[in-house]
Chain A
Amino acid sequence: MTDAPKRTPLYDLHVELGGKMVDFAGWEMPVQYPLGIMGEHKQCREKAGLFDVSHMGQVILRGANVAAQLEKLAPSSFTNLKEGKARYTFFTNDNGGIMDDLIVSNAGDHFFVVVNASMRHQDIPHMEKHLEGVEVTEIFDRALVAVQGPSAENVVGALCPAACDMRFMETIVADINGVSCRLSRLGYTGEDGYEISIPEDRAVEITRAFLAHPDCEPAGLGARDSLRLEAGLCLYGNDIDNDTSPVEASLTWAMQKRRREEGGFPGAARIQKELTEGAGRKLVGIKPLGRAPARQGVEVHCAEGSPIGSITSGGFGPTVGGPVAMGYVAAGHGAPGEQVSLIIRGKAQPAEIVALPFVTQNYKR
């Protein structure tokens, strides 16, 4: 990115709150506030954390056959996605790799899509090119704020009682402080919570109102990363990319039965073959048994000593109280309990394959 980093409608508020601003995917975003990554992480697990995710791309799709058209690009089922429901999915490429992961919501008279900040420039043209008869409109005048944690319902419900009646992966339009906002009961921390799309001219006011709740504190990208890692959620560009297939990434739960069987999405040949025969590698949870965090790129060796894969996301898990990691290991490996070694700075460190997530997901189903 050579352009100056962009700022969200909440930029001045981040600075006022003491946010340490960094360049992330071309956006100036807070990596942490004075509370610190560890404190913000725990705040989100125990009460509620508020994240600015306005850098993500919000897109409206209108047309007669949006659901069917989307099925040409992603291996999930959308024709049975009921109004008011959201679904996690991903665009696949012709080789069966993942182009981006995203959330698709059926908003009644349109579909609402949220894509990764770093992939906006790819996803929008991709949809414009392939979704026939669909009007693709990127939204630039709305902030997106995530309130996450066991107190999220209290925090959001205090300003918007309708939020309390929602369940996981539901989306509604409701007034907050007299402003029409879209609330979706989801997030990427493993906790209960909401993502709230707010008109930009009222975003600061409404964000302040959430933060006025005693249980709600601002949280930055640092905590967002450690929270999603403990929750076993993939980060695009780390754990999933154009080479990794949904089967390798253990994301087959996001491919509904009809789609797995019928195909009809990019890369179906590879993905269906892997569904039947198994993939050559698998994304698994890896728990370093010592204290050293294993970062992205660290080699994984089997008990016999030969390389079987590498770490794609790793760091310190504040709730776990120690290092946590995810990575790919070759087929034949990766059963929970398998002892492996991680080559950290040239030394083999003991680790164990574990079932994901590291921390129990706490959704309101």
Chain B
Amino acid sequence: MTTYYSEEHEWITVAGDVATLGITQHAADQLGEIVFCEQKEAGDTFEKGEEIGVIESVKAASEIFAPLDGEVIAANETLTETPGALNETPEGEAWIYKIKLADPAQLEELMDLDGYKALIG
């Protein structure tokens, strides 16, 4: 299963026509201790670049921007009660959305792991 990365420090894995989206460990480390996560709801559609959520740390609020077009199939509701999980397992259990991709070809505009590693140095 291939993992794709965005310049906004999100990761996406695709299985069939369902993709899972989250933030990278690097992003979580930069944000600091996360205390709040606001998500869209199942059925909400979005376009690339649109704000699809907000993560707040003890320091500040940061928006989550959609790396491509799609529709929310499910939001990870455990993050409402335990937003701190985003610091612990942001690339695992603390995924943010299951989404349906509107145009899988948009994945090609994202980075692979090597590209992302180069980005964060």
Contacts and interface: CB of A to CB of B under 8 A. Distances in A.
A and B co-occur in one complex: yes
Interface of A: 31-32, 36-38, 222, 226, 291-293, 295, 315-316, 318, 323, 345
Given A291-B80, A291-B83, A295-B61, 16 more contacts: A31-B59, A36-B33, A37-B32, A37-B33, A37-B58, A222-B58, A222-B59, A226-B58, A291-B35, A291-B36, A292-B36, A293-B36, A293-B61, A295-B60, A316-B36, A323-B36
A345 B40 CA distance: 13
Bin the interface of chain B by size.
Answer: 10 to 19
A292 B58 contact: no
Interface in B54-113: 54, 56, 58-61, 80, 83
B35 A316 contact: yes
B56 A316 contact: yes
B61 A38 contact: no
Contacts of B35: 291, 293, 316, 323
B38 to A, nearest CB: 7
A315 B38 contact: no
A37 B83 contact: no
A204 B101 CA distance: 56
A222 B54 CA distance: 20
Contact of B56 (A36, A226, A292): A292
B58 A38 contact: yes
B109 to A, nearest CB: 28
Nearest to B61: A295
Interface of B: 32-33, 35-36, 38, 54, 56, 58-61, 80, 83
Instruction: List the 5 closest pairs (A to B, CB-CB), nearest first.
Output: A316-B35, A37-B58, A38-B33, A316-B58, A291-B36
Nearest to B38: A292
24 contacts: A31-B59, A32-B32, A36-B33, A37-B33, A37-B59, A38-B58, A222-B59, A226-B58, A291-B35, A291-B36, A291-B80, A292-B36, A293-B35, A293-B36, A293-B56, A295-B60, A295-B61, A315-B58, A316-B35, A316-B56, A323-B35, A323-B36, A345-B38, A345-B54
A3 B54 CA distance: 34
Contacts of B60: 295
A272 to B, nearest CB: 40
Nearest to B58: A37
A38 B59 CA distance: 10
Contacts of B54: 345
Contacts of B83: 291
Select the residue from B35, B36, B54, B56 with max chain A CB neighbours within 10 A: B35
Contacts of B58: 37-38, 222, 226, 315-316, 318
Select the residue from B33, B54, B61 with max chain A CB neighbours within 10 A: B33
A1 B33 CA distance: 29
B27 to A, nearest CB: 16
Contacts of A318: 58
Contacts of A291: 35-36, 80, 83
Nearest to A345: B54
A36 B36 CA distance: 17
Contacts of A38: 33, 58
A222 B31 CA distance: 13
Select the residue from A37, A226, A295, A323 with max chain B CB neighbours within 10 A: A37
